[in-house]
Amino acid sequence: AQSVTQLGSHVSVSEGALVLLRCNYSSSVPPYLFWYVQYPNQGLQLLLKYTTGATLVKGINGFEAEFKKSETSFHLTKPSAHMSDAAEYFCAVSDWTGSYQLTFGKGTKLSVIP
């Protein structure tokens, strides 16, 4: 069984400040990990993913995440927040050994304060 825990249902940062959204996972196999962003009343957009290889993954819009196996973490960061980053962020783990179903965390709402 797989699970994802996102610490903090709501994170607020000032514009220009560092964004850090936390994600911890549980998986019985080497994980495939994803971050998605959802804007109000819209579907999910893939930010970045980790499957194998380099543990620091760069995504769109200046976001990056680092896979740390020892900490079972996949935290999302961005050096400088922009107003347009305000959205809901979901971390997910994939069942790549089976049907590739995604198990999502509960999401973190990011607010950016001007």
Partner 1 sequence: GAVVSQHPSRVICKSGTSVKIECRSLDFQATTMFWYRQFPKKSLMLMATSNEGSKATYEQGVEKDKFLINHASLTLSTLTVTSAHPEDSSFYICSAQGTDLETQYFGPGTRLLVL
Residues facing residue 36 across a β-bridge:
46, 90
Rounded least distance, CB 22 to partner 1, Å: 15
β pairing state of 32-38 and 19-26: unpaired
Positions in 94-113 near partner 1 (CB under 8 A): 94, 96, 99-102, 104-107
Cβ contact 45:92 at 8 Å: no
Cβ contact 110:86 at 8 Å: yes
Binding-site string for partner 1 from residue 22 to residue 61, where x marks contact by CB under 8 A and - marks none: ----------x-x-x----xxxxxx--x-x----------
Cβ contact 23:105 at 8 Å: yes
Pick between residue 45 and residue 80 the one whose CB is nearest to partner 1. 45
Rounded least distance, CB 80 to partner 1, Å: 27
Rounded least distance, CB 37 to partner 1, Å: 11
Name residues whose C-beta falls within 8 Å of residue 107's C-beta, 6 or more positions apart in sequence.
Answer: 6, 9, 38, 88, 89, 90
Residues that bind partner 1 (CB under 8 A): 32, 34, 36, 41-46, 49, 51, 90, 94, 96, 99-102, 104-107
